[in-house]
A and B are shown apart, each in its own frame.
Chain A
């Protein structure tokens, strides 16, 4: 069964304290892995797409990496405005619904000044 697990569930950091969020996946063929940021009461905001193992993407203080089993979202020197819930989703090679995204439960990041 296709499954996505994110850890930790919650993470508290001091401003400037770098860390990583994990997204582990079990899917029958990976079409794409996606990272989103969601602020309270808002829809998810797209961050990155990764398609194959070894791929990396960067945007400001965020860097996403991908292996055959998991993805990491590295946050370097975070600021309070990086506080949000980060969601990971995978699109699997599912012949019945190839459009479907499988979402993890998210990591709630809180960056203290």
Chain B
């Protein structure tokens, strides 16, 4: 159980275009989903937290107009990188936490990640 998928696993795009990444919880309902980015040999950096049906909470320094997050259902969240530039190239990883955690404490289950390369 607790499987999270991401699509696509790898994307290459031209500078100035927009890219959408999907994150799905396959066997549980995720009230909260998280988006991270990871640079080579570095740890995960939280970009934003999204709760189903409400606006995402962005971390300091993350441009909300550039990284659009939608969490329209309990099993799907999307991250759209708008007007991508080479510096946006990174490994983007989503995670999800289930709705069964009554104490608001619980492990996050991660997707396999999406490698974005902007030319």
Give A residues with C-beta under 8 Å from B: 31-32, 34, 36, 41-46, 49, 51, 87, 89, 91, 97-101, 103-106
Contacts and interface: CB of A to CB of B under 8 A. Distances in A.
Interface in B1-39: 2, 4, 6, 32, 34
Nearest to A6: B43
Contact of B105 (A31, A36, A89, A106): A31
B49 A100 contact: yes
Contacts of A101: 34, 46, 108
Contact of A99 (B43, B49, B91, B93): B49
Interface residues of B, number: 27
Given A46-B107, A99-B34, A100-B46, 4 more contacts: A31-B103, A101-B46, A103-B43, A104-B43
B94 to A, nearest CB: 8
B104 interface: yes
Given A41-B115, A87-B44, A105-B42, A49 B106 contact: yes
Contacts of B106: 32, 49
A41 B113 contact: yes
A99 B107 contact: no
Given A49-B107, A99-B32, A44 B2 contact: no
Given A31-B105, A41-B115, A97 B57 contact: yes
